[in-house]
Amino acid sequence: ANRYDCTQHLLLKKFLNQNKISRGLGSRIMHYVDFTLEFRHRRVHISKVHFLGLISGPLNIELHTELFAPTLCWHPCFSQILTMNKPMMREICTTAVLGTQNYAKNDMLFERGKEAKHMLFLTLGTLVYRFWPDDLAASRKVRMHEGSWFVEASLWMPWQHVGEMKALSEVDLVLVTSAKFRDICESYPEDFPLVRSYALLFWSEAHDQTLEALTDLGFPLEAHNERSAPPQSMVSGQFNMAQLTYAEEVQAQLLSWDD
């Protein structure tokens, strides 16, 4: 990875020089790329640690629980499951969770009209969700950031995606297989009423919403793509998370889709 990054770094500098890009703009581009690389590769991805394949039995169950339970607990239902029934949460983390899935920039996660089989939790990177309010010709785009979950509807009901989702950057997602989640919940009758109450609440909220509010992002839809003025410090070439966030918001609006 380091050799690849160094090669790409040299190619970028060569490209900027050959095309006579101004020194100021070239410097800003290089600063932005360096910052983005540092941010994206800060953590070791689980797929790179091959020795984890040697772990089995109780250690593997404990590892998966500590890896994935904190992410799942972003959602209140999973948080309550962990509090009330730790064995149930351990089984969810080891059986229903597919693990951390990685997608490259511009990868399509799902398409409109396809059956939804997983609830997704975004742990790294940025996604763009596109949908059509009230079946209008003009689509709307929403940027999804780390800490978001979506396609919750697949846990509680048969669900077809009503929009499309693409990766705006390299992203990591934790996927929960909906059918396995339901099977596990039904096998714990003492705590099944808790999960059933969340399902009934979701059904009730869905029934109360207008059709345009029924999206893969839940109820009600929260917009994250409001346009704003660029941060002043972008002009100086010094980048931080605010600048990266703004840049991704602009990219979300300009991202091309194959219609």
Residue 99: strand pairing partners = 175
Cβ neighbours of residue 145 closer than 8 Å, sequence gap 6 or more: 122, 126, 224, 245
Using CB atoms within 10 Å of the CB of residue 174, give its burial: 0 to 12 exposed, 13 to 18 middle, 19+ buried: buried
Give the rounded percent of residues in the chain with a pLDDT score beyond 70.
77
Q: Which of 259, 252, 238, 97 is nearest to 175 (CA)?
A: 97
Q: Are 71 and 123 in contact (CB under 8 A)?
A: yes
Q: Quickly list H helices, 22-92.
A: 23-40, 58-72, 76-84, 86-91
220-225, Cβ contacts within 8 angstroms, sequence gap of 24 or more: 221/142, 222/142, 223/142, 224/142, 224/143, 224/144, 224/145, 225/140, 225/141, 225/142, 225/143, 225/249, 225/252, 225/253
Q: Could you tell me the pLDDT band of residue 256, with boundaries at 50, 70 and 90?
A: low
Residue, of 1 and 51, whose pLDDT is higher: 51
Question: Lowest-confidence range among 24-38, 70-84, 161-175, 230-244?
Answer: 230-244
- Look up the pTM and report it: 0.72
- Return the ∠ at Cα 195 (arms to 189 and 201), rounded to 5°: 140
Residues 6+ apart with CB under 8 A from 89: 65, 69, 72, 78, 81, 82
Q: Is 43 exposed, middle or buried (0-12, 13-18, 19+ CB in 10 A)?
A: exposed
Strand partners, 144: 127
Mean pLDDT of 200-223: 71
Q: What is the pLDDT of residues 154-200, one digit of tens each?
A: 999 999 999 999 998 888 899 999 999 999 999 999 999 989 999 99
